[in-house]
Amino acid sequence: MTRPASIPLPLTSLDALERAGLTDPAERAVLDAVAAEFRVRISPAMAEVASDGVRAQFVPDARELQVVPEELADPIGDDAHRSVPGLTHRYPDRAILHATQTCEVYCRFCFRRETVGESGTLAEVEFDRVVDYLRRTPAVREVIFTGGDPLVLSARRLGAMLDRLEALGTMDLVRFHTRVPVVAPEKVSGALVAALDRALPVWLVVHTNHPDEMTGAAAAALRRLNRAGVPLLSQTVLLRGVNADADTLERLFRVLIRNRVKPYYLHHPDLAKGTGHFRVTLEEGQAIMAALRGRLTGIAQPLYVLDIPGGHGKVPVGPGYLRREGDHWVVTDPQGCEHSYRDL
């Protein structure tokens, strides 16, 4: 497929994707059915990246219509732990703030794909209730802004929300989970950076899945955040057809540490509806992580985790390097050789 010189951006409809040469007109009927179920949006920056691993994350696919009974509308149980509208309080010391349902891209594997794009931004009155809840619950020492993508909000609104959380005096830190620095780096403006640069530590977890996403503009956006003293971590979803091999993940994690981003989580894919074609097995994921151990500096190694379906929390899922045998342990080294270890 050839791409015309001028592309209307962002791409928010199948017409736009077709004009950009990203979808096949012969598939239009089935893709209409996909788009009726799950929203479509590709940011200008990502539409420009000619990479199969990047396109597969954003371009709708007929296989999304294949839904199996085990797939869930709310795979990680956001609703089961909703304390007040807009706030999920699952663990004692931290809570998730659903600041907006909007994103710069709509990812085909998203675990919130049934809600993203739906009801816009948390209203002021709802945020008032969230602040009241946090004031009454000082055990919550960390608020995690998520969405959608919280960095689609204006710098003014984010700054005002952070001011109120900071004023509570109970927070250790605030964390943002976002795709924006990578998929829409132009949004990391001076005003946004200034809103995040404050006495209350603001940590930022960048969601990125493929090394080709890291454009020059993305690297520059991360540098602006880094210069403002915002600690940068990353989260990646393990996805068949995108990054489910040790070579691609090694490239991704190396490019992240070169950009001062510490790889934090590698997520086993969630049981979101219509995402079976992305799914790998836990055994495959463990084999990839084992291959990376030893060949990649520890700073670049994320924790491989599974969000237990139904809202039961997130746990590391290996691979394991230790097993008990009688009165001693057997430890496996990165090359697969076993060694005995005894507790003294």
Catalytic residues: 90-91, 94, 103, 107, 110, 112, 270, 307, 314
Phi-psi region of 326 (alpha: psi -120 to 50; beta: other; left: phi over 0): left
108 binds ligand SF4 (CB under 6 A): no
* DSSP H stretches of helix in 236-329: 246-258, 282-292
278 binds ligand SF4 (CB under 6 A): no
Select from 13-21, 89-97, 107-115, 293-301 the region that touches ligand SF4 (CB under 6 A): 107-115
Give the E-state strand segments of 141-226 in sequence order. 142-146, 173-178, 202-207
Per-residue binding letters, 74-103, with ligand SF4 (x by CB under 6 A): -----------------------------x
* Buried-state track 64-79, b at ≥16 Cβ within 10 A, e below 16: bbeeeeebbebbbbbe
**Rounded to the nearest whole angstrom, what is the least distance from the CB of residue 189 to ligand SF4 in the complex?**
19
242 binds ligand SF4 (CB under 6 A): no
46 binds ligand SF4 (CB under 6 A): no
Residues 38, 64 contacting (CB under 8 angstroms): yes
Residue 105 or 289: which CB sits closer to ligand SF4?
Answer: 105
| Amino acid, res. 89 | H
Calculate the alpha carbon distances from 43 to 13, 47, 193, 210, 224 in Å.
12, 6, 21, 16, 20
Select from 53, 60, 75, 148 the one that contacts ligand SF4 (CB under 6 A). 148
Select from 90, 112, 187, 268 the one that contacts ligand SF4 (CB under 6 A). 112
Residue 278 or 304: which CB sits closer to ligand SF4?
Answer: 278
Tell me how many residues contact ligand SF4 (CB under 6 A): 12
According to DSSP, residue 104 is labeled S
106 binds ligand SF4 (CB under 6 A): yes
Calculate the alpha carbon distances from 185 to 108, 114, 122, 156 in Å.
20, 25, 23, 18
**Rounded to the nearest whole angstrom, what is the least distance from the CB of residue 96 to ligand SF4 in the complex?**
12
179 binds ligand SF4 (CB under 6 A): yes
| Amino acid, res. 311 | G
Q: Is 56 strand, coil or helix?
A: helix
147 binds ligand SF4 (CB under 6 A): yes
Report how far Cα 215 is from the mean position of its chain's Cα atoms.
18
* 87 sits in which H/E element: strand 87-91
**Rounded to the nearest whole angstrom, what is the least distance from the CB of residue 267 to ligand SF4 in the complex?**
10
Binding site for ligand SF4 (CB under 6 A): 103, 105-107, 110, 112, 116, 147-149, 179, 207
